[in-house]
Chain A
Amino acid sequence: AQTVTQSQPEMSVQEAETVTLSCTYDTSENNYYLFWYKQPPSRQMILVIRQEAYKQQNATENRFSVNFQKAAKSFSLKISDSQLGDTAMYFCAFMKDQGAQKLVFGQGTRLTINP
C-alpha cells in the first residue's frame, strides 16, 4: 500500500517570502503521479501542480515549483513570492498510473501568509 507523509502540520511566513512544504511517500510502483492540492477556507480542493514520476524535469506552475527526488521518494513544493491568497491547507497526494484514479493523501500542512 502507498503512504504519503507531510511532517509539517503548520507553517507561517511573511508575504513575499519563499516557503517550502515537505512531502515524502512510500510505494513499490514505478509509474505514478504526485500532486499538490490547495484547500482554502472555501473548502474547494484546487490542484496546484502535478508531477509524472517518469519525468525527470521538475514541474513548475508560475510561482509554484516542485523538487521531485524519485530515489529518495521526496516531493516538496516551493512557493515563491508568497501572497496572502496562498493561505490555505496544502495536501500532497499520490496516484498510481494503473487502475482507477484513487488518490492517497498526506496529513496536510496549514500554511499562513502574514501581511
Chain B
Amino acid sequence: DVKVTQSSRYLVKRTGEKVFLECVQDMDHENMFWYRQDPGLGLRLIYFSYDVKMKEKGDIPEGYSVSREKKERFSLILESASTNQTSMYLCASSLAGRGYRPLHFGNGTRLTVT
C-alpha cells in the first residue's frame, strides 16, 4: 500500500521564520504535489513536481518555494512565514503516464503562524 508521510501533523511558527514542510512517499512515484486547504476555498495547488529537481508552479505559488532533491521527498518552503499562510497543507503523489493514475494523499500538516 502506498504511503505518503508528512513529517508534522501540527506546526506552530512565528512570523518571519523560515518553515520547511516535508513529504515522503514510498512508492517511487514521479509526481508529487503540495496543496493548501482553507475553509470555503477547498484545496488549491501550490506547486507540483514531475521529477527530481523539476517543478512547476500551481495556482497559488506566491510566498512558497519547493525542493525535490530525491525522488521520494518533496519539501515545501515558506521563506518568511506570514499569518496569511496559516492553513492546512496536504501533500500527494502519483505515478506519471497517460490517463488516470490515482493520487495518494498524506494526512496533512496544520500550520499556524503567529
A84 interfacial contact with B, CB 8 Å? no
Are B44 and A50 neighbours in the complex by a CB distance under 8 Å? no
Contact A9/B40 with A100-B48, A102-B33 known, Cβ cut-off 8 Å: yes
A107 with B107, Cβ < 8 A, contacts A97-B99, A101-B94 known: no
Whether, in the assembled complex, B88 has its beta carbon less than 8 Å from a beta carbon of chain A, the answer is: yes
**Does B105 reach chain A (CB closer than 8 Å)?**
yes
Which residue in B39, B44, B107 is a CB contact (below 8 Å) of A44? B107
Of A42, A98, A100, the contact of B50 (CB 8 Å cutoff)? A100
- Tell me if B45 counts as interface (CB < 8 A to partner A): yes
Contact indicator per residue, chain A 1-35, by CB within 8 Å of chain B (1) or not (0): 00010100100000000000000000000000100
Task: Type the 1/0 row for B44-69, where 1 means its CB is closer than 8 Å to any CB of A.
Answer: 11001010000010100000000000
CB–CB B107/A91 < 8 A: no
A102 to chain B: which residues have CB within 8 Å? Answer: 33, 45, 48, 58
